[in-house]
Amino acid sequence: MNDHDGFLRIAHSPCPNDTFIFHAWSHGLLPGAPQLNVSFADIDVTSQLLAERGFDLLKISAAALPLAQRAGYQLVHAGSAVGRGCGPLLLTRQDTDTAQLSTLRLAIPSLHSTAFRLLRGWMAQELPAGFTSTVEMPFERIMPAVASGEVGAGLVIHEARFTFADLGLHQVVDLGVWWESVTGLPVPLGVIVARDDTADSFGLDQLAQWCRESLRHAWAHPEVSRDYIAEHADEMSPEVQQQHIDLYVNEFSESLGEEGQRALEVLLNGPV
């Protein structure tokens, strides 16, 4: 077994779904599991960390899985963010018809995000001309940039689906609804990957089991993780925190299963 200094380094987002899933493991509540050393980085950043190979475990965008595999990481079949009714949204400042979108500048969270991959599939069908230009920016900046007119349209993820109307923004398309209508599959948003030496040392099944046990502890004792979740949830209200967990934590987080794996395959290999 390789020496991991008694702990595993993990980077995942500070979003409620990830802090909910990993609270028990990161707080030493899983007998026999190695200690987790947690770094918080949003999903648009973690794909950039792959090449450094400094983390044993990373939560990355599902669309970045090929990058992870090339960097020597392997898929862990638990801890994922996969589901229905939880897809990214394309937003504009004003109510805009599809034809007008090609005159706008678009902000996206990452070129390697599931959100952008879904958008490309949708554009191939509905907006072949594309946008005038595309700019990457941290996801929390995208809605303010649309609202201020810095960009004409924004591709948003996470809790933005609960709060975009508060900024007076308009939804052009729910890309999760589009994806489900085309494929019949849930949307694969984020997955856990393990560095190859970590996978060899502990086994992918064991790593998935610790993810699973941590999640089950959170489901059984939701009050235990509440303060930890709130501490890292920025200015999200308790209601939005719970909506976030309810939407992004589900049976696919416990195990990808055949349907979750199929969704990943279709996302990465077509037909969209």
* Active site positions, annotated: 158
Q: Is-cis flag, bond preceding 271, omega within 30? A: yes
Interatomic CA distance for residues 112 and 108, integer angstroms: 10
Report CA-CA distances (Å) from 69 to 73, 74, 243, 253. 5, 6, 32, 20
- CA dihedral sign of residues 140, 17, 82, 206: positive
Region of 192 please: left (phi>0), alpha (psi -120 to 50) or beta.
beta
Report CA-CA distances (Å) from 48 to 3, 43, 67, 112, 158. 25, 9, 9, 9, 19
Q: Contact at 8 Å (CB) between 85 and 205?
A: no
CB-based contacts of 34, cutoff 8 Å, min separation 6: 4, 6, 7, 8, 202
